[in-house]
Structure 1
Amino acid sequence: MVIEVRPAEVFEDVRTLVGPKRADASVCWCLSYRIPSTINNKMRGQERGEFVRNLLADGPLGVLAYDGDEPVGWAAVAPRADTTFARNRKIPHVDDLPVWSVWCIRVRPGHRGKGISHALIEGAVDFARDRGAPAIEAYPLDNQGAKVDQTMAYAGIRKNFEAAGFTWAADTTSVLAGHPRILMRRDLS
């Protein structure tokens, strides 16, 4: 299997990874950290997908991993200033550098355990670097080897980011699925 990571530009492929199984379902669409909660909480069903389609008109929303032509993984990545992490009280800013954030890693069932999350993290790093990011941050779970519920593992886990050259930058007060989240960073200069 050869995994290729590309900018997330094709709506149908993005929908495959972050959209609902039923068109009328109100699932995340990976909008929770991308847009203000007042807007996010008001949208329902198909309105969420149309919102993502409109966002894609302005450019990629992250990166997708492909096995051949099949989309098998997703990573959300954007300038931190364009996300709710810019104002998040639980995740600190360690300095004023205009960093980018990677906050969601998702691999489709049936494709897990094949290194796709590692490829997605590296793809997110390349995506940010290619767009001038001086550094990239992530806010993974510090699960210390404990099992993590797959639905809550979207933030990633510390060891995967360490393997990609990220280092601890700060503790946070954010907890997800019973595990503390930490701020990790990788310099891109």
Structure 2
Amino acid sequence: MTTRSGRKTSGSLAVKELSKETWNDFEAVMGTNGGARGCWCMHWRLSTSEWMEGKGDGNKKTMKRLSQRDPAPGVVVYRDDEPVAWCSLGSRDQFPRLERSPLLSELDDKPVCSIACIYVQKEHRGDGLLSDILDAVCKHAASQGYKIAEGYPIEPGKGKRAGADTAMTGIASAFLDAGFSEVARPRGDRPIMRRELRAKK
């Protein structure tokens, strides 16, 4: 498979929902810091004060509780059975902080699968996996009945790199490579992007 930009993809990836069985793999991807600054991917699920209070072990415990519920809070992404990334996804109402965001406010009443966070394990950054991860995640979302995937990536200025805190939502060029289109741009560096999904027949 070749992306729109002509880059060859890195091959087939598999996704598994976060659960008791995949928790250790999730931990392996997130590392000892739990992603960026002890987040454990609770940024969009908690208020700022709740997030700060739980920073580190508290956020980790909250995510572990969510991992035992239905729907799962996201998926672990594997390459050759090795966990390489994490993606937090689900309906927008699963992310209260996203719902309250004046920057990333709801565009319309269409139900979407929000791709709220993408975290690639440190050892695999630079492998060109991000667009492949998005493609695999979209296929999973389609299998769960979603018709539209929505992302909130950052688009760094020319010659600039996104920091860990802003890159957590993904990079716009990777979304384009994965078949997303820009539908809004509430700020110069912050497009909102969507991809229509089709379930496998």
Q: What TM-score does the superposition give when structure 1 sets the normalisation length?
A: 0.83
The AA in structure 1 aligned to 2:135 is: E
Q: Deviations over 1:110-163 (max 9, x none)?
A: 222333212221122122222222211101112255331452422211111011
Aligned to 2:73: 61
> Is 1:26–1:48's contact at 8 Å kept on the other side of the alignment?
no
Q: Distance in 1 between matches of 2:86 and 2:170?
A: 12
The AA in structure 1 aligned to 2:18 is: A
1:137 aligns with 2:142: no
| Alignment gaps of 5+ in structure 2 | 1-10
Aligned residue pairs total 182
Aligned to 2:57: 46
Q: CA deviation at 1:19?
A: 4.8
Structure 1 residues 145 and 6: CA distance shift in structure 2, 3 A: farther
Aligned to 1:98: 111
Q: Distance in 1 between matches of 2:37 and 2:125?
A: 25
1:85 aligns with 2:95: no
Q: CA deviation at 1:47?
A: 2.1
Q: Distance in 2 between matches of 1:163 and 1:28?
A: 28
Aligned to 1:176: none
1:160 aligns with 2:174: yes
1:29 aligns with 2:40: yes
> Is 1:97–1:134's contact at 8 Å kept on the other side of the alignment?
no
> Is 2:41–2:117's contact at 8 Å kept on the other side of the alignment?
yes
Q: Distance in 2 between matches of 1:184 and 1:93?
A: 12
> Is 1:33–1:85's contact at 8 Å kept on the other side of the alignment?
yes
> Is 2:132–2:178's contact at 8 Å kept on the other side of the alignment?
no
The AA in structure 1 aligned to 2:149 is: I
> Is 2:40–2:56's contact at 8 Å kept on the other side of the alignment?
no
Structure 1 residues 112 and 48: CA distance shift in structure 2, 3 A: same
Q: Distance in 1 between matches of 2:190 and 2:150?
A: 12
Structure 1 residues 4 and 188: CA distance shift in structure 2, 3 A: closer
Structure 1 residues 64 and 115: CA distance shift in structure 2, 3 A: farther
